[in-house]
């Protein structure tokens, strides 16, 4: 085998190695892209869950504020009346701006 044949043989071997490495990298990239898509889908689901739970928390917090503690309905009526007066003031000020 001449030096040129050896060089060509070595070159062919290196090209085959590069093709194999490229194929492996391509497969790995496809797997990583699939995993990214799965993670993004999971993140979207978790964000929806967080939003839902925040809404439930707000509702529970508001319900807790309105809960009659020990049958104290008079305090609850005063609290609701105060809230209504605040809302009326806001509506009145908005009406004046229009």
Spatial separation of the C-alpha atoms in residues 75 and 52, rounded to whole Å:
31
Residues spanned by the domain of 17: 3-67
- What pLDDT score was predicted for residue 68? 52
- What pLDDT score was predicted for residue 64? 75
Q: Do both 34 and 81 map to the same domain?
A: no
Q: Do both 78 and 57 map to the same domain?
A: no
Spatial separation of the C-alpha atoms in residues 14 and 34, rounded to whole Å:
30
Domains: count for the chain: 2
Weakly modelled stretches of the chain, pLDDT under 50: none
Identify whether the C-beta of residue 66 lies closer than 8 Å to the C-beta of residue 79: yes
Spatial separation of the C-alpha atoms in residues 87 and 59, rounded to whole Å:
19
Q: Do both 56 and 88 map to the same domain?
A: no
Q: Do both 45 and 75 map to the same domain?
A: no
Q: Do both 11 and 58 map to the same domain?
A: yes
């Amino acid at each position: 085998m001449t030096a040129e044949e050896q060089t060509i043989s070595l070159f062919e071997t290196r090209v085959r190695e590069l093709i194999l490495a490229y194929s492996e990298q391509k497969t790995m990239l496809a797997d990583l892209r699939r995993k990214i898509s799965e993670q993004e889908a999971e993140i979207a689901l978790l964000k929806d869950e967080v939003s839902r739970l925040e809404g439930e928390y707000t509702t529970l917090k508001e319900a807790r504020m309105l809960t009659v503690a020990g049958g104290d309905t008079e305090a609850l009526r005063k609290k609701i009346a105060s809230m209504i007066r605040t809302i009326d003031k806001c509506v009145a000020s908005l009406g004046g701006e229009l």
